[in-house]
Amino acid sequence: MQRLKNRGRQVAVASVLAVVTALGATAWQSNTTAQDRDPGASQQRSSQRSSQRDRQSASNGAKRQAHSLSEAFRHAAEVAVPTVVSIRTTTKPREFRGGDRRGNRRSQRVNPFEGTPFEDFFNDDDLFFGPNVPDGRRFTPRQQGMGSGVVVDPSGIVLTNNHVVQGADEVIVQLADGREFKASDIKTDPETDLAVLRIKAPESLPAARLGDSSQLQVGDWVIAIGTPFNLSSTVSAGIISNAGRELLSNQRTRFLQTDAAINPGNSGGPLVNLDGEVVGINTAIASSSGSFQGIGFAIPSSVARWVMSQLIETGSVQRGYLGVNIQETNTALAEQLGVGRRAGVLVAEVLPGTPAAEAGFEAGDVITEYAGKRVSTPRDLQELVERTEINSRERVTVVRDGRERQLQVMVKPLPSRGPRAAGLADEEPQERPADDEGYADNDLGLEVAELTDETAQQLGFEGREGVLVSGVESDSPADLVGLSEGMLILKVGRQTVTSVDEFTKAIRKESLDQGVLLHVRTQAGNRFVVLERE
């Protein structure tokens, strides 16, 4: 009886398995039939699975890259942060001559940012005037400042900005480990807004390595380290957004531009590459609010290295000079002078008694090479000349009257108050001189008059020869190139003019369609301009 029951169970189980197998076979046959009918569906599912694997792989790759970048930032910070210092300055009250805001004379306080990119943001109206004392004297209040710096030598040499320590009576340097030292020696170079401090620590200090800023390219990652808003050891990251930015408020340095956050208190701190090397000294920001708005500037390490070495060795910076006023060659000037656009730097004036005068430079020369290096902008030439060894002889290639010439110049030290190779500054229009017999050209929109002894004395043109600009029509060719009353025209084309008659004869040989080249004297120096038809 029991065997019959077991036999029944076996039969039942077998029947169930047979049904399941049949259903599975039917389903497989149905699926196979469907795939046969639509082979694209299978391919689509396969493609979707492959796409999912690709996305996952890409996601994993992106994460690995992000982690790798984070590790690079961490490494750079670990290397550089121990070398970064905070700098506190104190300036004692100083007596000044002046009055208060109620109509009396203002304070004679020096702009603390003079000579730096911050100069234009300093507002005399925001000065605080200290209280009167019984004898009527007045004093500026006690002032405290904050900045950053970086140790560049284990013996205790710190590099920072000039404007961080300028005019301070006491400078305290706080290391990354919290120890504080009073700066025992301070050397500055206002021209580049750099300063070197020395502190006396009992042992060697962690020191940063100076990198090569000339190797930086737009898009390279950098980090800025400093003490913004009194928050020490703050690190921000960004990229180099321009590797040679020129700012009018600083005529001696081409800055590194970055979007790494730089705020008040960062000044003097390092801009560091991913190897932890200092490639710049944070100096300024472009801001309408006084705080970071996406653009900051740093002095390149190549400039800092050169300035620092001289400050350490001699306490000052000695720069070479030629004794020429120079300007950039725009398209119109390049065509007139027979050179390519940005193919060189135009000599607008050769100052007497200078190395350039002794070497035979002439106004109108286009300098294309200096010491074997090509130059295309005034700043290129300025930087090369300034860093030339004093009393060395250098070969200079110039284009004169369409032909190349080689000149030899002995570079001399730049006088403390002397001529400088620089671009031309904007000048205020001079008062119109007394009416004299002159000449007017309606096509040029220009009137000229004789230069009398009286007018020459009034305008500072003693010993000069030329014809005086006595009138300029608004929106005329003369106006569009910046000519104004009170300027002196020295040449028309290559022809020197010393009278209205000579000017008239020379100008009648010229054509606005081909451009009229004029050599003019302004309050800022000489320059060339080209008058063209609109």
Catalytic residue among 86, 107, 148, 163: 163
Give the separation between CA 33 and CA 30, rounded to whole angstroms.
Answer: 5
Catalytic residue among 86, 107, 189, 193: 193
Nearest alpha carbon to residue 254 among 293, 223, 283, 225: 283
Q: Helices 39-80 and 2-37 meet at what angle, rounded to 10?
A: 80
Give the separation between CA 93 and CA 97, rounded to whole angstroms.
Answer: 13
Clarify whether 193 is annotated catalytic: yes
Catalytic residue among 148, 236, 267, 301: 267
Assess contact for 113 and 122: CB atoms under 8 A: yes
Give the separation between CA 397 and CA 63, rounded to whole angstroms.
Answer: 54
Q: If you search the block for the tokens 């009137």, which residue do you land on?
A: 447
Assess contact for 208 and 77: CB atoms under 8 A: no
Give the separation between CA 444 and CA 529, rounded to whole angstroms.
Answer: 13
Give the separation between CA 62 and CA 72, rounded to whole angstroms.
Answer: 15
**Ramachandran region, residue 370 (left: φ > 0; alpha: ψ -120 to 50; beta: rest):** beta
Q: If you search the block for the tokens 């009229």, which residue do you land on?
A: 516
Nearest alpha carbon to residue 177 among 248, 307, 85: 85
What backbone torsions phi and psi does residue 285 show, to the nearest 5 degrees?
-135, 150
Active site residues: 163, 193, 267
